[in-house]
Structure 1
Amino acid sequence: MAKKIEKLIIKYLTNSATVTDLDVLSKWIEDPSNKKVFKDFVQTQYVINYSMNDPEAKVVVENLLKTIRKEKSLVFQLKRQPIYKYVVAASVILFLTITFFWKKTNKLEPNEPTIVNVNIIEPGTDKATLTLEDGSQVVLEKGAFFKTQNANSNGEEIIYEANTQKTKSAYNFLTIPRGGQFYVKLSDGTQVWLNSDSQLKYPTYFIEGELRQVELVYGEAYFDVSPSSEHNGAKFKVVNRSQEVEVLGTEFNIKAYKDEVNIYTTLVEGKVSIGYNNKKQYLNPSQQSNLNIEENQISVASVNVYNEISWKEGVFSFRKKSLEDIMKVLSRWYDIDVSFENPELKKAGFNGVLGKDQSIEDILEIIKSFGVIKEYELKNRKVVVK
């Protein structure tokens, strides 16, 4: 199945499909041969093993197909109306069928949740703080326009223009808070998507032909690097604590949070070398390195790239992740603090594909509905998992 169609199905399942996306998906699924491909994809990728043996699994897929057909019939009536984007909300029901879990703890008995909802916690959004060379800071957020000699920001992204100067460049810092994300296009054309609780240091322009170097001070970032062939052979390097990633032109993701001892580098396409402790490790596409900075040891494994970079596409894709790791991700995106009443729950696992635009309450309810947790308490930006 084409990657484009794969992405459209995932966007549909996570409530992020646009009118155009739905048009393309609807037309593609009209072909009888594609219907089977669609069924196989949903079942193999998003339905758990026990569900595959459940007769209801086939019903779920058939209902999804019916829903898409119904939505398709509304396309021409609603596509010119702003309310159309909410039509895809019907797929929320599907989350309860494509999400699943495994546990290392004993099976939990059903119980009614105790939820204290004092204030509404909104999902994260595009926002950042730009620190200029003189130390002054500019808050970037929707509606806040900003311009420098070679940079422009509409509050949701910042774009740097190429500069032909040969003198030393100034450095800027882009800091993304918890509950934020941001996009920056560097002066060489390299694109960087920054996740919550991250900071990037970079020059305001690169000197043509010389090494292009930026620093991921902490956090997570996805890089789509402008090829060295377009810059007189100049290589591109990303440095951060304990490692350096050198590339010629490629796409990759680095996850290096301050509160974690592991640095994960995932290669999407191209080739990179990772320098650490006077050693080098090369990665091929779909490989991920895991550098333990305490032990100075690195391991490499093949991974499902989509699960590692889905955050950039507005999706949480959790596969064989512990509840502790999942809560770290959610705490950064929703800017909340999470604690566990029972430490053993940290080992529990949950797999699923969820939209980042969902409320934290919805996500906790989905996790709870599959018995991963008995209860949770949400109060004053603090979540207690029980």
Structure 2
Amino acid sequence: MKDVFKISELLIKRKLKALTDSEKLELKGFKEKYSFLKEVKIDQLVDKIDRLPEVDNKKAWKSIKAKFHERNDKPVITIVKRPWFKYVAAAIVVSLMATTFFLKNKSISNEPIKISPEIVKSNIENINPGTDKATLTLGNGEVVVLEKGVSVKTQNAKSNGKEIVYDANKQDVSKVVYNYLTIPRGGQFTIQLSDGTKVWLNSESQLKFPVAFVEGKTRQVELVYGEAYFEVSPSTEHKGAHFEVYNMKQKVEVVGTEFNIKAYKDEANIYTTLVKGKVNVEIESKKQKLVPNEQLNLDIKNNTSKIKTVDVYNEISWKDGVFAFKGKSLKEIMKVISRWYDVDVIFENKNLESVEFKGSLDKKQSLKEILSIMKSTTINNYEMKDKTLIIR
């Protein structure tokens, strides 16, 4: 059994590229001794360590956190922020497990544990994270597909597969022509409007915008639905022309600033979060001012709103490739997950919907990795059927 723990530790350290020369030789010796090592997959091994019934995970994690406190005065993060952290934690667990300190029952059989490849349920291995993709609908109704790695040119803009840029010098402002940029589930895209304003669009979103803005007149766009982060070109560079974003029941008026609007069709609230500058949010002719770090929450059904101070990073980290879920319920989180991985989510255990998850996750991680992290802290079990995730 000691061999198993040592092998696990060495395999994980190899994943982290932290093996010493003597450890490399030791691992080579184990490979010659145990033929099954050729079939071991490190990700599955780490998952197995977390699920071993003999291990008191709570006690193990408590000790690990204490050790981190001893080395660093900063608070210990309860959920990993980088994929490699789980390997570090697993290495610590197996090295300590070798002393049986974290075993729930010390009278365990001395028979060797056979490590074998894990049978993967359903098709979760095939569920990949989202990527850069969108469709652009031109004024004449023509639809242009935009996707990662593919360059596209239209009469007024060009795209590198990640962003589409409109050239102000090539625009005819004699009449206003609108284009639509639509982001599907499992997608994201960025657009630079003709005035220099930059907009990041999240999964399942649509932006209506003019190919060119009329000089000196208010610049208007519409977030038809979804989520968008705006970095607005200041009015001082456009003869004082303000910038306005319409969506559903509200209008956001800005001078030159950065803010986020979340307005999904399947949600009952619209969230407007100010990062820099100042904005006025107008609802039924009533204007409310926001200052940086404030968020206006509009209840669509009751047409009521309230303003509160928020942690801006948690609201806008999605555009930088991070899911930040501080204080979010599992139901809210799974809506985000479903859009990015293009899956449907069903809660078989309704009690889990209100459970809070605290932590940050990398958007580049596979769905399996995301769920493995959440399973060890929040959810009890899950199953994937076709493209439907069932939470138990």
1:140 corresponds to which of 146, 168, 176: 146
Query: 2:203 is matched by which residue type in structure 1?
Result: S
3-state DSSP class of the match of 1:226? coil
3-state DSSP class of the match of 1:362? helix
* 1:123–1:61 Cα change, 3 Å: farther
1:90 corresponds to which of 84, 89, 99: 84
Q: C-alpha separation between the residues in 1 aligned to 2:262 and 2:88?
A: 30
Deviation at 1:349, TM superposition (A): 1.2
Corresponding residue for residue 176 of structure 1:
183
| Alignment map for 1:94-243 (pairs within 5 Å) | 116-118=121-123, 119-163=125-169, 165-243=172-250
3-state DSSP class of the match of 2:84? helix
Provide Cα deviations, 1:344-366, integer angstroms capped at 9, x if missing partner.
Answer: 21111111111000011111111
Give yes or no for contact 1:192–1:224 (8 Å, CA) kept in 2. yes
- 1:59 to 2:53 alignment: no
Deviation at 1:317, TM superposition (A): 0.4
* 1:179–1:94 Cα change, 3 Å: farther
* 1:309–1:293 Cα change, 3 Å: same
* 1:64–1:333 Cα change, 3 Å: farther
Deviation at 1:247, TM superposition (A): 0.1
Q: C-alpha separation between the residues in 2 aligned to 1:173 and 1:61?
A: 51
3-state DSSP class of the match of 1:319? coil
Q: C-alpha separation between the residues in 1 aligned to 2:329 and 2:339?
A: 16
Q: C-alpha separation between the residues in 1 aligned to 2:66 and 2:164?
A: 46
Between stretches 159-168 and 325-334, larger displacement belongs to 159-168
Identity in percent: 56
Q: Give 5+ residue unaligned stretches, structure 2.
A: 1-57, 74-81, 91-117
Deviation at 1:126, TM superposition (A): 0.2
Corresponding residue for residue 262 of structure 1:
269
Deviation at 1:54, TM superposition (A): 4.6
Deviation at 1:56, TM superposition (A): 3.1
Corresponding residue for residue 25 of structure 1:
none
| Alignment map for 1:7-18 (pairs within 5 Å) | none
3-state DSSP class of the match of 2:126? coil
Between stretches 341-350 and 195-204, larger displacement belongs to 341-350
2:342 corresponds to which of 324, 335, 340: 335
* 1:344–1:115 Cα change, 3 Å: farther
* TM-score, normalised via structure 1 length: 0.73
User: Bigger radius of gyration, 1 or 2?
Assistant: 2
* TM-score, normalised via structure 2 length: 0.72
Provide Cα deviations, 1:257-315, integer angstroms capped at 9, x if missing partner.
Answer: 00011000000010000001221111000000000011010100000000000000000
Q: C-alpha separation between the residues in 1 aligned to 2:383 and 2:120?
A: 5
Provide Cα deviations, 1:204-259, integer angstroms capped at 9, x if missing partner.
Answer: 11111111000000000000000000000000000010000000000000000000
| Aligned-residue RMSD, C-alpha | 2.5
Q: Give 5+ residue unaligned stretches, structure 1.
A: 1-49, 66-87, 97-112
3-state DSSP class of the match of 1:345? helix
3-state DSSP class of the match of 2:179? strand
Q: C-alpha separation between the residues in 2 aligned to 1:195 and 1:60?
A: 35
Deviation at 1:169, TM superposition (A): 2.3
Q: C-alpha separation between the residues in 2 aligned to 1:171 and 1:277?
A: 25
Q: C-alpha separation between the residues in 2 aligned to 1:232 and 1:207?
A: 11
Deviation at 1:379, TM superposition (A): 2.5
Q: C-alpha separation between the residues in 1 aligned to 2:165 and 2:356?
A: 40
- 1:297 to 2:291 alignment: no
Deviation at 1:327, TM superposition (A): 0.2
Corresponding residue for residue 366 of structure 2:
359
- 1:374 to 2:380 alignment: yes
Query: 1:210 is matched by which residue type in structure 2?
Result: K
* 1:61–1:174 Cα change, 3 Å: farther
Q: C-alpha separation between the residues in 1 aligned to 2:270 and 2:119?
A: 36
Aligned length: 298
Query: 2:122 is matched by which residue type in structure 1?
Result: N
3-state DSSP class of the match of 2:358? strand
Query: 1:117 is matched by which residue type in structure 2?
Result: S
* 1:361–1:170 Cα change, 3 Å: same
* 1:364–1:90 Cα change, 3 Å: closer
Q: C-alpha separation between the residues in 2 aligned to 1:217 and 1:302?
A: 26
Query: 1:192 is matched by which residue type in structure 2?
Result: V
Q: C-alpha separation between the residues in 2 aligned to 1:241 and 1:385?
A: 32
